């Protein structure tokens, strides 16, 4: 009888252990599925813009690139727009360099919200504005300074839009890729390793002058 009792208790413990292990596996599995689902929910808005007509992956501007932009724009304080403002670093830097109206246009709502918070914490919120908008449906004529980090596939279309909508004297800095040379003649090339910058000016005499190059 004693032996039977011991065997019965061993079997009970084994069954309980199996049940406990199954329960742990279910909890781990449920946790994993939850994490994946949560990650997809959060990441979805970041990748959704890439599924649109022009793919514009989010690649933050380097500190050196930002420094070169505002070295080139020294003395400018006209209304500024960053087309595809990402985490807001260029717009916030513009505010710190004296631009009183520095705006950022971005498709990704999470980056828009993050930029607003970042600007608030940096003390530049009174000079900045971040909004979710579609570039192709937005009138750019109110801005006299345009910063653009474009993708190669969009440069032809955005060149035409800028030519049609920006006013005489508007300054444009195109980073990483130049505007369409059939539409715009660059005023200046600023070399920054693998991230060159092209400076353009709308309807000025310099359009026909020799390209300046800064290294």
Look at residue 28 in the predicted model and tell me its pLDDT. Answer: 65
Q: What is the pLDDT of residues 143-161, one digit of tens each?
A: 999 999 988 889 999 999 9
Task: Give the residue-averaged pLDDT of 95-121.
Answer: 95
Inform me whether the pLDDT recorded for 172 exceeds 80. Answer: yes
Q: Which residues in the chain belong to E strands, given as ranges?
A: 80-83, 102-106, 128-132, 145-149, 171-175, 188-190, 197-201, 212-214
Look at residue 150 in the predicted model and tell me its pLDDT. Answer: 85
Look at residue 152 in the predicted model and tell me its pLDDT. Answer: 87
Q: What is the pLDDT of residues 190-199, one digit of tens each?
A: 876 777 899 9
| Cα 89 to Cα 5: distance, rounded to the nearest angstrom | 72
Q: What is the pLDDT of residues 46-59, one digit of tens each?
A: 444 443 455 556 67
Q: What is the pLDDT of residues 122-132, one digit of tens each?
A: 999 999 999 99
Contact 152, 56 (CB under 8 A): no
DSSP 106: E
Q: For the chain, how many residues are written?
A: 215
Look at residue 18 in the predicted model and tell me its pLDDT. Answer: 61
Task: Give the residue-averaged pLDDT of 31-35.
Answer: 52
Look at residue 49 in the predicted model and tell me its pLDDT. Answer: 47
Q: Is 208 exposed, middle or buried (0-12, 13-18, 19+ CB in 10 A)?
A: exposed
Inform me whether the pLDDT recorded for 6 exceeds 50. Answer: no
Task: Give the residue-averaged pLDDT of 175-201.
Answer: 88
| Cα 157 to Cα 89: distance, rounded to the nearest angstrom | 25
Task: Give the residue-averaged pLDDT of 196-209.
Answer: 72
């Amino acid at each position: 009888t004693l032996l039977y009792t011991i065997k019965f208790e061993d079997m009970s413990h084994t069954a309980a252990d199996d049940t406990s292990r199954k329960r742990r596996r279910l909890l781990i599995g449920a946790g994993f599925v939850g994490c994946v689902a949560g990650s997809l929910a959060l990441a979805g808005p970041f990748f959704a813009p890439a599924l649109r007509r022009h793919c514009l992956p989010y690649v933050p501007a380097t500190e050196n690139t930002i420094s070169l932009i505002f070295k080139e724009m020294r003395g400018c304080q006209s209304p500024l727009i960053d087309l595809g403002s990402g985490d807001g670093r260029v717009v916030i830097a513009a505010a710190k360099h004296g631009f009183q109206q520095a705006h950022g246009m971005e498709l990704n709502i999470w980056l828009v919200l993050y930029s607003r918070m970042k600007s608030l914490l940096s003390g530049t919120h009174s000079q900045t504005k971040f909004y979710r908008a579609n570039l192709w449906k937005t009138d750019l004529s109110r801005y006299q300074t345009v910063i653009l980090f474009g993708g190669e596939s969009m440069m032809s279309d955005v060149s035409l839009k800028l030519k049609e909508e920006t006013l005489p004297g508007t300054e444009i800095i195109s980073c990483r890729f130049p505007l369409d040379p059939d539409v715009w003649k660059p005023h200046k090339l600023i070399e920054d390793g693998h991230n060159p910058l092209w400076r353009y000016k709308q309807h000025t005499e310099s359009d026909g002058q020799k390209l300046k190059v800064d290294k």
